[in-house]
Chain A
Amino acid sequence: MANCQNQMRYGQQNMNRQQRPMRNGYGMQQRPDTNCVRVEATVCATNQQEQRGCMAAEPTRGCERQERECGCERRERECGCERRERECGCERQERECGCERQERECGCERQERECGCERQERECGCERQERECGCERQEERDCGRQRKDRLSGMPLAMAYVPWQEWGDLYCAHKALEVGTVFEELDMPFLGRGGCNR
C-alpha cells in the first residue's frame, strides 16, 4: 500500500509539473479515494487495450511518463533513468543506482563541491591532505598563530599607514613599468591563494 501511495503521490506531482491531461483509466490513479492497486492491475494486466496503447506510445512518449502511467516496476528499471529514481525518493533504488553513494558516505555534499576533489572531500580536515590538494586554509590558520604581529599592542579595528619619507626614485621609464616612482613602494604582489608571505 505504501508503494501504491507513493506511485499515486508522484504520479500527481508529475501531472502537476507537466500539466498533462489525464487519459481514460490512467486518470483513476490520480483519484485519492480510489483503490490504486486494483486500478493498476486493471490497467496493466487485464486491460489489453490500455496496455497496447501504452506500448504503442513508447516511441513517442518520454520514459518517465510511460513508467508512471504503466506503473510497471520492470519497465522503470529498463528505462534506467537516474533522474526519475531520484525523484522517486526511494532510498533503495538510489543505492542500487550507485550515483549518490559517495556523497552519502562523505556526509557533506557542499564541501565536496567547494573542494572539487572527491578524495579530499572525504578526508577533509586532515592537514596533510589539504597540502596535497593545494588547499592552504588550514595552513593559514597555523601560520596566523605562529607569526609575530608587528602591530601587537596597538588598538584593534584601526588601520595604520606608515608615514612615507622622501627616498630614492626610479627613472621615468622604470616608474611607468613598475607603477610607482618610489622605489620603496615597488612591492609586487607575491602572495598566492591568500596566504601570508
Chain B
Amino acid sequence: MSECPNRKELFHHINEVSFAVDDIKLYLDTHPCDDEAMECFEEYSQLRNEALKEYAKHFGPLTVDTAVCSEADKWNWIQEPWPWQKGGC
C-alpha cells in the first residue's frame, strides 16, 4: 500500500477487529468444535494482522509481532510515540 492511511482511523479499525477477535475467542473457549465460530475467528484475525502490519509499516509497531514490519531500516520499537502518548493516536 503506497498511500499513507489515516493514522487515527487505522488505529480505530485495529481496535474494532481486535475486540471482535477477543469476543469470538471467548466463544471458542466454550465451543471449540464450532466450525462457524472458527471460520469467523480466522476472518477477523486475518483482518487484525493485516491492519497491525499496515500500521507498523507506516507508523511503527503496536505489537512486537510487527516490530520488523516497519519501513525503517533500524529498530524503531521505541522511536514512535505510544498510542497513549501525544501524537500516538
Report which A residues bind B (CB closer than 8 A): 164, 166, 169, 172-173, 175-176, 180-182
User: Chain B interface mostly helix, strand, loop or mixed?
Assistant: helix
Are A175 and B37 in contact, with the CB atoms below 8 A?
no
A181 — which chain B residues lie within 8 A by C-beta? 19-20, 23-24
Contact in complex: B27, A176 (CB < 8 Å): no
- The answer to whether B16 and A172 touch across the interface, beta carbons within 8 angstroms, is yes
Q: Can you list 17 A-B pairs with a CB-CB distance of less than 8 A?
A: A164-B27, A164-B31, A166-B36, A169-B20, A169-B40, A172-B13, A172-B16, A172-B17, A172-B20, A172-B44, A173-B16, A175-B19, A176-B16, A176-B19, A180-B23, A181-B19, A181-B20
* B contact residues vs A (CB 8 Å cutoff): 13, 15-17, 19-20, 23-24, 27, 30-31, 34, 36-37, 40, 44, 47
Alpha-carbon distance between A166 and B32 when the two chains are bound, in angstroms = 12
Within 8 Å CB of B34, what residues of A?
166
A69 CB, min distance to chain B CBs, angstroms? 66
Minimum CB–CB distance from B14 to chain A (whole Å) comes to: 10
Which of B16, B27, B47 touches A175 (beta carbons < 8 Å)? B16
A182–B37 Cα distance when bound, in Å, is 11
Which has the most chain B C-beta neighbours within 10 Å: A173, A180, A181?
A181
B44 and chain A: residue at smallest CB distance? A172
A175 and B23 in contact, given A166-B36, A169-B40 (Cβ under 8 angstroms): yes
Out of B15, B31, B47, name the residue touching A176 (CB < 8 Å): B15
18 extra interchain contacts, Cβ-Cβ under 8 A, other than A173-B16, A176-B15? A166-B27, A166-B31, A166-B34, A166-B36, A166-B37, A169-B20, A169-B40, A172-B17, A172-B19, A172-B44, A175-B16, A175-B19, A175-B23, A176-B20, A181-B19, A181-B23, A182-B23, A182-B27
Cα A180 to Cα B27 in complex, Å, equals: 11
CA distance A165 to B74 in the complex (A): 48
Least Cβ–Cβ distance between B19 and chain A, in angstroms = 5
Contacts of A180 in B (CB 8 A): 23
Nearest 8 pairs of A and B residues by beta carbon: A172-B16, A181-B23, A172-B20, A176-B19, A176-B16, A166-B36, A181-B20, A172-B17
Q: A42 vs B75: C-alpha distance in the bound complex, in angstroms?
A: 96
- What residue of chain A has the Cβ atom nearest to residue B13's Cβ? A172
